[in-house]
A and B are shown apart, each in its own frame.
Chain A
Amino acid sequence: MPDIGTAVEQITVLKWLKQEGQPVKRGEPLCEIQTDKAAMELESVAQGVLLKQVVAENTEVTVGDVIAYVGEYGESVPQ
């Protein structure tokens, strides 16, 4: 979860906009998130395939937490 500059540490992943196995471009919306101020789309900083959604929808995370892995097809991700 990137520091999106809202000065808040706790951010909720509301909804995934990309499913596992789907290609993701850098800058494309990856998921909807909610801070204490607003709901917004989170842009992907990585380009490739969404290999794993690490957190379920409606889960609160802290800035810096791993929420997803984006890589190449067939690449393995940490369990």
Chain B
Amino acid sequence: MAEKKYSNEFLLGLYRKMVLIRHFEERVKFLFLEGIMPGTIHQCQGQEATAVGLCAALNDDDVITSTHRPHGHCIAKGLPVNDMMAELFGKTTGCCKGKGGSMHMGDISRGIVPAIAIVGGGIPVATGCALAFKMRKERRVAVCFMGDGATNEGVFHESLTMGAIWKLPVIYAIENNLYGASTPVKMVNMVKHLSEKANTYAMPGLTIDGNDPLAVYEAAKTAVGSAREGEGPSLLELVTYRITGHSRRDPALYQPAEEKKAAKANEPIGRFAKYLLAEKAAEQSELDRIAGEVDAEIEEAVKLAMAAPLPKPEDALEDLFVEGV
């Protein structure tokens, strides 16, 4: 854990968001198992610290792009769980009016480009957002969340080349959860650390403990600061672990039992709780209270979402074109 001092309010804010993400994902998992919610879904249990640590270093008007696994990113950037749950239920009160669902979760008014589920699809979009900020002389930054698998897509090379030569205000954040779906990272990469790929573009590349929200926050603060000052992009590799399947239908049998056990002991929320207690930033009772509040917030979201109306067929004809740009 980083040695710096933070306000208790800041630390508990990080903790609360991580718990909100975990409990949201768990609630959604059971909505599926109970047969209330159809389809499949990609969840981020175990990866909460990457999104929360990184988004803590952003301003409200900075933007993020996300992936097929977007719930954590959205909560971390400030999307209310009411809007997200309604979207999962396909209701008109959802953040995309029920037309996006899990893999297009987002809200541009909160700086969340609706998620792009195609692997690597967000990389050129984030780069383009950063180019727009630079051309308009706005002091905003774009953060591109991507998985480890995305770093082997062709568009990764094209986008990072452009980001680097034009010194764009963008942070490329790799959430390395050790598997591209079921393929081990080591099987498809010759470098030891994915951050070494930054060398090709002569941009800073760092490998960070992605299960430590403060380590992520510190690295992000530096990268965001230099991006905002016009010094160009950075590549952050946030090493984490997915303690659930790639998707709902994936029992993750390719994750060895020993590795899974170690990962559960290293999962970010339990670790951060221990840190908060050791630093006397909070009592256990306060952490319990936060968990209770979070659960109540999620239950309210489920209730509202279930009661909300479904879109009408003719609503499919709305929101097709942006006017007044």
Contacts and interface: CB of A to CB of B under 8 A. Distances in A.
A binds B: yes
Contacts, number: 35
B233 to A, nearest CB: 37
Interface string B50-90: 00000000000000000000000000000000000000000
Contact of A5 (B26, B30, B247): B247
Contacts of A45: 30, 33-34
Interface in B28-57: 30, 32-35, 38-41
Interface string A27-61: 10000000001111101010000000000000000
A40 B253 contact: yes
Nearest to A41: B251
Nearest to B38: A3
Contact of A4 (B26, B30, B248, B253): B248
A5 B248 contact: yes
Given A27-B26, A38-B253, 19 more contacts: A2-B33, A2-B34, A2-B35, A3-B32, A3-B35, A3-B38, A4-B248, A4-B249, A5-B41, A5-B247, A5-B248, A6-B249, A26-B30, A37-B249, A38-B251, A39-B251, A39-B253, A40-B253, A45-B30
Question: Size class of A's contact patch?
Answer: 10 to 19
6 contacts: A2-B35, A3-B32, A4-B248, A27-B26, A40-B251, A40-B253
A21 B165 CA distance: 67
A6 B248 CA distance: 8
Main secondary structure of the interface of A (DSSP, over half): loop
A5 B35 contact: no
Interface in A7-21: 7
Nearest to B253: A38
Contact of B33 (A7, A40, A43): A43
Nearest to A3: B35
B39 A5 contact: yes
* Most chain B CB within a 10 A radius of its CB, from A5, A6, A38, A45: A5
A67 to B, nearest CB: 13
A11 to B, nearest CB: 12
B34 A5 contact: no
Top 4 closest pairs, chain A to chain B, by CB = A40-B251, A5-B249, A5-B248, A2-B33
B257 to A, nearest CB: 12
A35 to B, nearest CB: 9
A24 B213 CA distance: 33
Contacts of A5: 32, 39-41, 247-249
A51 B34 CA distance: 19
Contacts of A64: 35
A41 B34 CA distance: 16
A16 B39 CA distance: 27
A3 B34 CA distance: 8
Nearest to A37: B249
Contacts of B249: 4-7, 37
Interface in B297-315: none
Contacts of A37: 249
Nearest to B30: A45
